[in-house]
Amino acid sequence: MRCLFVSLMLALISTGAMAQRSVAFVEAASPDDALVIAMRDATLPESVSATIGAAASENITRAINRTGFTGEAGLTASFVSGASAYGEIHLVGIGPSDLRRRDWEDFGARAALLAKVSRAGRVSVLADGADAEDFADAAMGAMIGQYGFTKYLSEAEPVTGEIAFVASSASAAQQAYESEGRHLAEAVMWTRDMQSEPANVLYPEEFVRRTREWFNGVGGVSITVLDERAMARLGMGAILGVGQGSPRPPRMMIVRYNGAASGEAPMVFAGKGITFDSGGISIKGNTGMWAMKADMTGAAVVMGAVHSLAASKAPVNAIAIAALAENMPDGGAQRPGDVVRAMSGKTIEIMSTDAEGRLVLADAVWYAQEQYDPSLLVDVATLTGSVGGALSDEYAGLFARDDATADALTEAGDVSGEDLWRLPLHPNHDKQIKSLIADVKNADTGSPGASTGAAFIGAFIKPETAWAHLDIAGVDWRAEAEPTRPIGASGFGVRLLDQLARSRAE
């Protein structure tokens, strides 16, 4: 029978926003399914040959030999053959090495991208040697890999059908996915949705409303929201100063999940939540300002991570704090040269109103320490452009005062696929943030900008607090697609913090 080879480049099938196929777990593929097959080299696995039949196997083997497909990780190829009941047969290279969790997620995402262009109602995924956890990881990758934000498209292309992972124990794979992977995938996609919303729709009070709604019914969770009066009583002059130029008032939102012993100190994740950053009086240029709708990514990330932990009943105590404000330049806005007093009592000279993220975090991290005495405090922020200049979109910047904290976060990044690179915190950076008329200044600190930004937040961290700062400004938005991170909002940090919390619990 004739065998037609069709080359599918990943870049061609990873663009565009559309609805998603659901995932399922089955013990056998059905005739008329499209097949996606994990390939460690150029040889079809015997189980696959038995499934598709000798004639189709021979045809595909000849085509593989002609095209030079090697099974290298990331390579894909697709075939249409009349010699098999399975009309579409797609190959995805996974390479010969043992696969990590992030590799299985990437494989699942590539399978999902192939499913996007499939005409079959169901796409069945075969992977010899995969266990239940591997299939669960692949399913999670498939869900976040086919993500697209279609809410405002007048004619979004409909997608139906499912991606079925063929496992020897489908029930075990289903259980593994339902216990953790599904919740993590939903958290990543919720975070991306929040990042993608325009600022005329998403502002501090709306962020609070949506987050409350999302957590409704999740066990072990309590929510506190501080309005302007509550923040004023606590002396939070830093976040109030940032928000005073907008008619949409700031908020501090705290979501607490208790999944471990009641007396166990919680981990606290604090996120920068600037729902739009015009720069304030120090207004930004127009080019690229549209992207400042996503300057609240840190806040969405920490909420997403805690939701994943709570929904999956993880045995941890974790708290998410969202420091929410809109940075706008009206007649009541804070000015360069102003001095504000943070909750800690320290005074801050405002050298630039466009260095506002560190201001809202100054109050958030102090509140976290005063209220919760955390076992670990991690702040997450799209803080500086300079971190992208240093690390591009390959890594987020990691700052920590001690090696143990830095190592724990680096390892969590490696496992989760959200990589970190440690950048320096030096005593000179503390000198650079000193002000002539106040305790510290928020800008005009010289280079390196990412380190002086971290040093500013560090000025509000107690010496005894285990703390890390994640600058995600280079990785929060993808200009080029990766398997589990399509073009657009990345949700970077949700998987990382989820993994960090679980590994510390172990």
Query: Which residues are part of the catalytic machinery?
Result: 284, 358
- 66 phi, psi to nearest 5 deg: -70, -35
Alpha-helical (H) ranges within 155-203 are 170-176, 182-196
Q: Is 478 helix (H, G, I), strand (E, B) or coil?
A: strand
Q: Is 92 helix (H, G, I), strand (E, B) or coil?
A: strand
Three-state SS string across 311-378, please? HCCCCCEEEEEEEEEEECCCCCCCCCCCEEECCCCCEEECCCCCCCHHHHHHHHHHHHHHHHCCCEEE
> Could you identify the residue written with the tokens 């920490």?
302
Are 319 and 331 within 8 A, CB to CB? no
Nearest to 482 by CA among 23, 138, 8, 14: 14
Alpha-helical (H) ranges within 78-169 are 101-116, 132-145
Residues 6+ apart with CB under 8 A from 310: 215, 218, 219, 220, 221, 257, 259, 318
Are 269 and 302 within 8 A, CB to CB? yes
How far apart (Å, rounded) are the C-alpha atoms in residues 476 and 384?
A: 12
Are 162 and 22 within 8 A, CB to CB? yes
Calculate the alpha carbon distances from 139 to 22, 345, 482 in Å.
Answer: 9, 49, 16
Q: Residue type at 22?
A: S
> Could you identify the residue written with the tokens 């009349």?
82
How far apart (Å, rounded) are the C-alpha atoms in residues 43 and 57?
A: 10
Q: Regarding beta strands 3-6 and 76-81, do their DSSP bridges make them parallel or antiparallel, or are they unpaired?
A: antiparallel
How far apart (Å, rounded) are the C-alpha atoms in residues 309 and 258?
A: 10
| The CA-based dihedral angle spanning residues 232, 242, 187, 36, taken in that order and rounded to the nearest 10 degrees | 180
